[in-house]
């Protein structure tokens, strides 16, 4: 096996590991949020109890997307072609936009939860 083949194989393994890590983070977050949704839905009928669940799910999604972006960057790290670079740029732009809007929504929800907590006292 040539050094280039070893490098490509190592890169493929790393990409797969990082992609799996991202998928696991998203899956665990979705399962956790679904379980909390059911438990809180049975205990309370107020929509306000679901906001913290949404915030946590948003954090899991953001982290999972970061892992997926890291995998895409790793995929193009070893001798990328121009089409691969363009594809990576498009994927990075889409995922960055998703992360931006998720983070913005999380911040807004946190402000609402904080304001509701101050008025309850």
Give the dihedral of Cα atoms 107, 112, 118, 121; nearest 10 deg: -130
pTM of the model: 0.75
Confidence tier at 75 by pLDDT (50, 70, 90): confident
In whole angstroms, give the CA distance from residue 119 to residue 44. Answer: 19
- Please name the residue ranges forming H helices in 47-81: 51-75
Tens of pLDDT, residues 21-37: 999 999 999 999 999 99
In whole angstroms, give the CA distance from residue 90 to residue 70. Answer: 14
For the chain, the domain total comes to 1
Structural domain of residue 113, as residue ranges?
A: 3-120
Question: What pLDDT is stored for residue 27 in this prediction?
Answer: 98
């Amino acid at each position: 096996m040539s050094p280039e083949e070893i490098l490509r194989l190592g890169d493929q393994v790393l990409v797969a590991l990082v992609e799996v890590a991202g998928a696991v983070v998203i899956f665990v977050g979705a399962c956790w949020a679904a379980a909390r949704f059911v438990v809180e839905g049975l205990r309370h009928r107020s929509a306000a109890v679901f906001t913290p669940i949404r915030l946590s799910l948003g954090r899991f999604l953001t982290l999972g997307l970061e892992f997926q972006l890291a995998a895409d960057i790793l995929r193009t790290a070893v001798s990328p072609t121009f089409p691969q670079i363009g594809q990576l740029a498009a994927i990075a732009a889409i995922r960055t936009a998703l992360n931006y809007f998720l983070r913005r929504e999380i911040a807004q929800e946190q402000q609402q939860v904080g304001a509701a907590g101050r008025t309850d006292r």
